Chains A and B, each alone.
Chain A
Amino acid sequence: MKYAFYPGCVARGGAPELYDSAVAVMKRLGIEWEELTKAACTGAGLLQEKNRKLGDALNIRTLAMAEQKGLDVLVICSTCQGVMSQANHAVQRDPEYLAEINKVLADEGLEYKGTTQVKHLLWVAIEDIGVEKLKGTFTKQLDGVKLAPFYGCYMVRPSAALGFAANPDRDTSLEIAIEAVGGEVFDFPGKTACCGFPILFINQRNSLRMVSNHTGAASDGGADAMVTPCPLCHLNLDGYQPKARKQNRGDKADMPIIHLPQLLGLAMGMSEKELGLQRHIVSTKEIVRKVDLITAR
C-alpha cells in the first residue's frame, strides 16, 4: 500500500507533533509513501477566495505529480483534504476546465488526466486498511476513555466533492476510528461545526466563542479528550482554548485536543514523547495517565 504523501504546511509548521506522530503511525500500519516535496500549499480556501483558478491550478499540479507516480495522495489535514477534493471535483466534472488548467501546467511537462484520489489518513485507515486489520495493530483497548469527535468543515462539506455518496462510512469515519480503539464516543452537535480558525485573525471574539462552545460542550459531557483529523482546528481549539474559556465561560481550559494519529498511536502503545503529546498547550497529562494505566494485550 503506497501513497504520495502530502503532509501540508501546518504539520510542517505550527503542529510538528502531527507530522511526527503520523509518520510513526503510518510505519506501524505498513503504509509506504513518497513525500511530495515540490508541491505547493493548497491555499486553504483563502487563496481560492482571491483567485479560484490559481488555487485549482496549484492543487491539480500536485495531483498530476502523484498521477505520474501512479499513486493516490495521502493527507493528514481536513483542510488539505477538502480543498484538494474540491479542485479535483471541479476538473473531473468539467473537461474544458481541466484542459484550461492543463495548459497552465504544460510548461512543467505535467498533464492531469483526473485519476488521482485524495485520501486522509482517517479514510485510508478505515477504507483501505480496514477496521479489522487496523484493530490488529493496536496493543491497547481504550476502555472507559470518552472521546469527542471534531471533524473540521473541509472533511464533511461540500459532501458532493468528498465522495460521501459512494463511501457512506465517511459520514461517521471519526466515530468508527474512536470505536476501533475501544473508546466511547461523546456525540455532540458541534462535531461537524466550524472551529473558528478562519476568522481567528479577523473576528477573534466570534472565533473564540466557537472554541469555548465546542470544548465546553465536550467538558460538560465528561469527555477525556477531543479528537480531530484537522491541524487547523487543533491550533485554534488547543492554542486559544485558555483565552476562549476564560472569556466566555470563566473556567479553565481542560479539554485536550488530540490529533487523529496520536489517538491511533496511543492504542498502538506508543509513548507520550513519540507522539509529541507534551507539546500541546492544553495539558494531555490526564489522558496519557489514563491510557498508561490500561495494560497492554
Chain B
Amino acid sequence: MQANLKVRRFNPGEPGAQPRFQEYSIDVHPDSTILDALIQVREEVDGTLALRCSCRASICGSCGMRVNGRARLVCKTRVEHLAPNGEQLTIEPMGNQRVVKDLVVSLDTFFNQIKRITPYMQPDKEPEHGEFIASNESMTNLLTAMNCIMCGCCVSDCTVLEVDPNFIGPAALAKAWRFTEDPRDSKRNERLNALNNEAGGIWDCTRCMQCVEVCPKEVAPMERIMEMRDAAIEAGNTNTSGYRHTESMYNSVKKHGRLDETRLAIDSAGWTNVPRMLDLAPIGFKALLRGKMPPILPHKAEDKQKIKDIYEKVEGERK
C-alpha cells in the first residue's frame, strides 16, 4: 500500500536552519507500522532523516512522535489504521521538548522533571530479613504507574507544559504517586506536602486528559494526580486555592444540587484574599452590565434533599 508522509525536518546544528516539511511517498507492506515506513524512507529514499527507535515493540519507549498532531509510539501505530486510503500523515517531533534533529527530541526535559520528585525509595529502616516484605495488593496497586516506559508522549501533549515549562508534568507526577503509594517508602507525607506546595505541583494540572488519552501504557497520569490531591488534603494540606475550589463545588452541589459560580470564584480566591477579590471584581462588573452575571442566589435543583441523601450515603461508606 501507499504511505504518504509529510515529515517535519529541522537541524538546529546547521547555521541558519529553519524547520520545514518534506514529503515522501513510498510503497509499504500492508502491515507496516509508521515506524517501519519511516525506517524505509531513511534506508531507501533519504539517509539524512533522523529518528530514534530501538525495540520496535512498544517496550522501550524510544519512538514517541506526533502523528497528525497527537503524540504516539510510531511502532504501535499502523499506517493502515490512520491512513487506509493513502491519506497524508503529518509526522512531527514530540512537543514540549527540545528538538535535537528532525524527529529526535532531547531527553533532558523529561528526566529533569523526573529528578524533581526524588525518584527513588526512601525507607527509614534496614529490612529485617534482608528484604522488605510488601503485600501483593500493595504492589498490584502500583502496576498502573509502574507500566510507564518513559516515552514522553504525555509530556509532549500536556497543555499546561505548553504554557508553563516549570510544571512537573504528567509522567513525573505519576512516578511520584508510585512512591507515595509504596508501603516501603517512609516519606509519604513529605512528598505530598512538597507536591502540594511547590510551584508546578499537583494543583497546576488542568485536568485536560491529554495524558490519559495519549499514554500507550494506560498509566493515566491525571488520575494519579487527582489521587494525590485527595491524599494531600487528607494529610492536612488545606492551604491551596485548589483545595478551596474543590470544597466549594462539593458544598454547593450538596446544598443546592447545583454549582454556585459566584461562590466558586470567591471561595477559591479565599474570602480574606483582598487582591484576588479586587481582581475578580471588574470581570464580575462587566458581566453584570451585559446581563450575564451568575445569579447571587444560585439556581437550585428541585428535590435537593434527595441529592443530600446520596451524599450522606456515599460519604458514610468512605468512613
Question: Which residues from chain A sit less than 8 Å from chain B, CB to CB?
Answer: 9-10, 12-17, 37-41, 43-51, 53-54, 57-58, 61, 104-105, 107-108, 153-154, 157-159, 189, 193-194, 196, 198-199, 201-207, 209-210, 213, 239-240, 243, 278-281
Contacts and interface: CB of A to CB of B under 8 A. Distances in A.
A251 B261 CA distance: 28
A16 B230 CA distance: 33
A13 B295 contact: yes
Contacts of A14: 261, 287, 292-294
Given A202-B204, A280-B290, A61 B315 contact: no
Contacts of A40: 253, 257-258, 301, 304, 307, 310
B301 to A, nearest CB: 6
Q: Interface SS of chain B: helix, strand, loop or mixed?
A: helix
A199 B208 CA distance: 10
A193 B95 CA distance: 13
B241 A159 contact: no
Contact of A44 (B212, B249, B265): B249
Contact of A45 (B162, B207, B299, B307): B207
A221 to B, nearest CB: 16
Nearest to B241: A202
Contacts of B229: 49
Interface of B: 69, 159-160, 162-164, 203-210, 212-213, 226, 229-230, 240-242, 245-247, 249-250, 252-253, 257-259, 261, 264-265, 268-269, 279, 283, 286-287, 290-295, 298-299, 301-304, 306-307, 309-311, 313-315, 317-318
Contacts of A196: 206
Contacts of B247: 50
A157 B162 CA distance: 18
A159 B214 CA distance: 10
A206 B292 contact: no
A281 B311 CA distance: 36
Contacts of A202: 203-204, 240-242, 245, 268
A206 B283 contact: no
Q: Which 9 A-B pairs have the closest CB atoms?
A: A201-B268, A194-B208, A209-B163, A157-B209, A9-B259, A194-B159, A54-B314, A13-B294, A46-B249
A48 B306 CA distance: 19
Contacts of A49: 207, 226, 229-230, 246
Nearest to B304: A40
A54 B307 CA distance: 10
A58 B212 contact: no
A14, A159, A213 pick with most chain B CB within 10 angstroms? A14
A206 B164 contact: yes
A201 B230 contact: no
A220 B314 CA distance: 49
Contacts of A46: 245-246, 249-250
A61 B310 contact: yes
Contacts of A48: 226
Contacts of A61: 306, 310
Given A50-B230, A54-B315, A57-B314, A279 B268 contact: no
Contacts of A45: 207
B164 A209 contact: yes
Contacts of A281: 283, 286-287, 290
A262 B209 CA distance: 28
Given A37-B301, A210-B163, A281-B287, A203 B209 contact: no
B278 to A, nearest CB: 13
A197 B104 CA distance: 33
A240 B282 CA distance: 10
23 contacts: A12-B258, A13-B259, A14-B287, A14-B293, A40-B307, A41-B253, A41-B258, A41-B259, A47-B250, A48-B226, A49-B246, A54-B314, A54-B315, A58-B307, A104-B310, A157-B208, A158-B212, A201-B245, A201-B269, A202-B241, A239-B286, A279-B292, A281-B286
